[in-house]
Chains A and B, each alone.
Chain A
Amino acid sequence: MAGILKYLAGVETPKTLVFGITGKQGRSKSRLMRKFGTEIIAGCTPGKGGQEVDGVPVFDSAAEAVNAFPQLNSAVLFVPAGAVRKAAIDAVDAGLKFLVLTADGVPTQDEIVLKEYVSTNDSVYLGPNTVGLLDTEGYLFGLIGGSATWARKNYRPGKVGVISRSGGLSQLLGAFHCRPNLPGPRADGSYGPLWGEDYPGLSAVVCVGGDPVPGISMLDAATAFEKDPRTEVMAVYGETGTTQENDLAEAVMNGGITKPIVVFLGGKFTKAGVSQSHAGAMIRNENETWKAKQKALLDAGITVVERPDAVFSAVLGKLKKS
């Protein structure tokens, strides 16, 4: 069975190029990705072409890498924020279909330019400022899990699709759905294990990132999960700023998304105009406030929880119904 990338980017089996593989983070995260199962075929660092990192050949540009390995279809960028725009355009020009931009602090103008750039191509990208994507089919882009052993132990195949704007909560929502006997508040008001050994499990985790102009949006991710046959419920972490939750609500309202969704909506106490640790959480107009989003989601029939540990029993409730 194909993983979520088939529906997100038209990529059945990812064959991946790592930008910045010669750097400290690039090297260690490439190891994590490979150990988890991602097929990393080549690396790219301008000026370091010809080298090898853990047996992976390094090229000066994406075009050269694709020339040598035409099967390449995806890339992950472990490059500094200031270098993201150039590297991403290089990857898109080389025809790579799916990119993950991990860097935090990419200038907003660069994000806007990238968005315009890919609009005329058929490439998509996740991020910036994302921990990436993990699919329990056996591939991982970015840094989810921290170590491959931890990631394998904590992310197990199942029925829940996770979408999140926060790296930490991407990981938490993903892993806790795979934890046997997870305690939490139950629907009847009691507190205790929500399930036994039969945890719901995970199809994939997609972290859309914490920035104001994300490539793949929450709605894009939800649309992919809608098509993914493994996914029965979506667990979503949303927050103030941007209109992603509003767009998701609209799609549910219009019948474009029909699978049940549970949203944990953060930022109830975020004040307008104040910068946040996620640049994208800043409220710029009244549609982007917590209240407006909560209303839009509820109006569309989406379950909204305000306590993070309430996500799991809500998801369980949806699974029982379906």
Chain B
Amino acid sequence: MSALPEYRTRILLERENVPLVNGVFVSPGEEHPSDLPEMPVYLKAQIPGATSRKSSGLVRRVATTEELEENLSILLSPGEWGVAEGVLIAEGLDLTAEYYAGCMLDFGSKERLPGGMLLFSTEGGSGVEGRSATLLKMRFSLLHPPPPEEIESELKKLENLEEHAAVAGFLKGMISTFIEYKLNVLEVNPLGVLKDGSILAVDCRAEFEKSAVRKRDMDVFYPPGLRSSRDITKLEEVVELINRDDPSGTGFFRQNRETPSEGAFRVATNLCGGGGKMLWEMTTGSRTDIFTMNESDTSGGLSAFKSYRILRVILAQKDAQVLLLTGSGMAFQNQHHLAAAVWKALRESPTPLPSLLRFGGTDEDKARELFERVSGTLPVPVKTYPAVVFPNAMVDDIRDMAGETVKIGEAYITPEGEPAITVLIPPGKIYYYPERWQKDEIPPSVKACPTGFLKWNKNALTTDPEAKCIGCLMCETAALLDGNAEILIELEMPEVVD
């Protein structure tokens, strides 16, 4: 789940006509506009997901222009809090009361349908649960949200509340916003009451799922050019970029933030599917002698191109000693294609790792065969396992593998020749080297193309515009194993990882 900071949550609320305190947003490097709210004002650093902003100095009350300039420049500069997206300058109001309002999801139970949950408290935010006389907890349907009258009659059950109709109208607006943008959480805290009885959102925040964001709302949820202050590593960011330009299947990668305990074996993992991840966790979760460098999930029929690119990221992890790859044992991804991706990554990464590879699923035998054939030319030792061998058995081999010094096999030397044909297949290029294929027959690389995308026409390479390249790497693999390197594939990484 991702967090939406206040100033961006305000945009959503405003679109649904929910009243807000006056405010102006200033982003770093931007001159603040002249039409500021009247002094005193509050300066609020905008950091998604940040809580207790007041106590950490991220919200400051200023009464003069000098104070404003000074504090604004502090909050806009990088600090202990990281880098703020900007500062919201909000009017300082005299409030006669402060309430709390929230919408969240109710996941339901065996007896109760899931839905939305509206929380409202006359006692403000923290610890609202458990004060039933002042707390309204109202389940609502996302399909048929309640009209304001229904909310109002629920509000009448609360002590110390007078502005029933105004609050009901406000909450109705919140529910509309919550549903319109398919949010997971929407909070207004505080919801302020002014002397004249009108109410408005003084502060707010939201949480959302990436997959719920519509294209037309992208600018609010993912503002262009925003330097994110999210907890994300460089390598994780690269995987995000890979996912962006190749959305096939699942590509999940998260590095372990903890420090490995002394003497533990540091294992970089490529786990395939939630099942693979679970098997690995069950096997090693309680062991202190094995440190998992990263979580990962590559599954759901991703292309070998994508597997290769994510593997390059996995191999680039500093201090990793071995690579361990396992799925549940019944992957959808063709295992021969996956093996080709692993082979390519081990060949081309400047930091290949000794590898333990468990293949399971279609063509798993071919996957193991591939590594039998190339074992003499690998820069690192590789051991493969069939699906019936569970990861518990692989773990016992980590010790041996991690200790192995990197031995350079007789690396494959590419024959002479310049590429004459380049086929663009984003994110890469297929190069064809005619000088390397002088025989009067179809080269193995072209024969190996499962979709018919590569064609052989009068001793020359062509492509079939009707067919598609599925990024399986079979052409290059066959060229290297059975041909004369007549086809090579170059795949681009969104950023250098090594």
Cα of A243 to Cα of B108 in the assembled complex, Å? 10
Among B179, B281, B388, which residue has its beta carbon within 8 angstroms of that of A183? B388
Indicate if B252 sits at the interface (CB-CB under 8 A). Answer: yes
Instruction: Report A100 CB to chain B, min CB distance, Å.
Output: 15
Residues of A within 8 A of B301 (CB): 25, 143
Contact B330–A168 (Cβ < 8 Å)? yes
Residue of A nearest to B249 (CB): A104
With contacts A167-B273, A277-B274 taken as known, whether A116 is within 8 angstroms of B113 at the C-beta atoms is yes
Among B142, B277, B332, B334, which residue has its beta carbon within 8 angstroms of that of A113? B142
With contacts A171-B330, A247-B110, A268-B285 taken as known, whether A116 is within 8 angstroms of B115 at the C-beta atoms is yes
Contact A112–B362 (Cβ < 8 Å)? no
Stretch from A5-13, A68-76, A293-301, A302-310 forming part of the interface with B: A302-310
Contact B250–A307 (Cβ < 8 Å)? no
Instruction: Report A305 CB to chain B, min CB distance, Å.
Output: 10
Contact B211–A107 (Cβ < 8 Å)? yes
Contact B275–A112 (Cβ < 8 Å)? no
Residues of B within 8 A of A183 (CB): 388
Among A82, A167, A243, which residue has its beta carbon within 8 angstroms of that of B110? A243
Cα of A116 to Cα of B107 in the assembled complex, Å? 11
Residue of A nearest to B331 (CB): A168
Residues of B within 8 A of A81 (CB): 211
Indicate if A322 sits at the interface (CB-CB under 8 A). Answer: no
Cα of A166 to Cα of B362 in the assembled complex, Å? 18
Among B183, B210, B272, B282, which residue has its beta carbon within 8 angstroms of that of A306? B282
Indicate if B420 sits at the interface (CB-CB under 8 A). Answer: no
Residues of B within 8 A of A267 (CB): 278, 281
Indicate if B34 sits at the interface (CB-CB under 8 A). Answer: no
Instruction: Report A102 CB to chain B, min CB distance, Å.
Output: 10
- B276-320 interface (Cβ within 8 A of A): 276-279, 281-283, 285-286, 295, 297, 299-301
Contact A116–B143 (Cβ < 8 Å)? yes
Contact B278–A169 (Cβ < 8 Å)? yes
Instruction: Report B104 CB to chain A, min CB distance, Å.
Output: 11
Indicate if B390 sits at the interface (CB-CB under 8 A). Answer: yes
- Scoring B residues 128 to 158 as 1 if CB is less than 8 Å from chain A, else 0, what string do you get? 0000000000000111000000000000000
Indicate if A172 sits at the interface (CB-CB under 8 A). Answer: yes
Indicate if B48 sits at the interface (CB-CB under 8 A). Answer: no
Indicate if A284 sits at the interface (CB-CB under 8 A). Answer: yes
Residue of B nearest to A266 (CB): B278
Residues of A within 8 A of B285 (CB): 268-269
Indicate if B114 sits at the interface (CB-CB under 8 A). Answer: yes
Cα of A179 to Cα of B277 in the assembled complex, Å? 23
- Scoring A residues 239 to 280 as 1 if CB is less than 8 Å from chain B, else 0, what string do you get? 100110001001000000000000000111110000111100
With contacts A107-B209, A119-B113, A281-B274 taken as known, whether A308 is within 8 angstroms of B105 at the C-beta atoms is no
Among A168, A175, A213, A243, which residue has its beta carbon within 8 angstroms of that of B275? A168
Residue of A nearest to B110 (CB): A247
Residue of B nearest to A85 (CB): B182
Indicate if B184 sits at the interface (CB-CB under 8 A). Answer: yes
Instruction: Report A77 CB to chain B, min CB distance, Å.
Output: 15
Indicate if A147 sits at the interface (CB-CB under 8 A). Answer: yes
Indicate if A196 sits at the interface (CB-CB under 8 A). Answer: no
Contact A182–B388 (Cβ < 8 Å)? yes
Interface range, B side: 35 or more
Cα of A307 to Cα of B113 in the assembled complex, Å? 34
Instruction: Report A276 CB to chain B, min CB distance, Å.
Output: 7
With contacts A107-B209, A113-B143, A268-B285 taken as known, whether A150 is within 8 angstroms of B278 at the C-beta atoms is no
Cα of A164 to Cα of B211 in the assembled complex, Å? 24
With contacts A166-B328, A168-B276, A284-B107 taken as known, whether A112 is within 8 angstroms of B282 at the C-beta atoms is no
Residues of A within 8 A of B198 (CB): none
Residues of A within 8 A of B283 (CB): 307
Indicate if A146 sits at the interface (CB-CB under 8 A). Answer: yes
Contact B362–A146 (Cβ < 8 Å)? yes
With contacts A115-B113, A213-B108, A275-B1 taken as known, whether A146 is within 8 angstroms of B332 at the C-beta atoms is yes
Indicate if B361 sits at the interface (CB-CB under 8 A). Answer: yes
Residues of B within 8 A of A107 (CB): 182, 209, 211-212
Contact B278–A239 (Cβ < 8 Å)? yes
Instruction: Report A242 CB to chain B, min CB distance, Å.
Output: 7
Cα of A277 to Cα of B387 in the assembled complex, Å? 22
Cα of A309 to Cα of B330 in the assembled complex, Å? 14
Indicate if B256 sits at the interface (CB-CB under 8 A). Answer: no
Contact B182–A212 (Cβ < 8 Å)? no
Residue of A nearest to B109 (CB): A243
Residues of B within 8 A of A210 (CB): 274
Residue of B nearest to A281 (CB): B274
Contact B332–A143 (Cβ < 8 Å)? yes
Residue of A nearest to B361 (CB): A146
Contact B211–A172 (Cβ < 8 Å)? no
Contact A308–B390 (Cβ < 8 Å)? yes
Cα of A158 to Cα of B184 in the assembled complex, Å? 43
Indicate if B329 sits at the interface (CB-CB under 8 A). Answer: yes
Residue of A nearest to B212 (CB): A107
Indicate if A190 sits at the interface (CB-CB under 8 A). Answer: no
- A53-99 interface (Cβ within 8 A of B): 81-82
Instruction: Report A293 CB to chain B, min CB distance, Å.
Output: 14
Indicate if A51 sits at the interface (CB-CB under 8 A). Answer: no
Contact B182–A109 (Cβ < 8 Å)? yes
Residue of B nearest to A309 (CB): B390
Residues of A within 8 A of B299 (CB): 167-168
Query: Can you list 7 pairs linking A and B with CB atoms under 8 Å apart?
Result: A82-B211, A167-B275, A270-B281, A277-B250, A307-B282, A307-B390, A308-B282
* Top-9 shortest CB links A-B: A168-B275, A168-B328, A269-B285, A171-B330, A107-B212, A168-B273, A266-B278, A105-B211, A277-B297
Seen from chain B, the residues whose Cβ lies within 8 Å of a Cβ on chain A are 1, 105, 107-110, 113-116, 141-143, 179, 182-184, 209-212, 214, 250, 252, 272-279, 281-283, 285-286, 295, 297, 299-301, 327-332, 334, 360-362, 387-388, 390, 392
In the complex, besides A146-B332, A268-B281, A276-B274, 9 extra interface pairs with C-beta distance below 8 angstroms are A82-B214, A105-B210, A108-B182, A112-B105, A116-B114, A116-B142, A150-B362, A168-B299, A277-B273
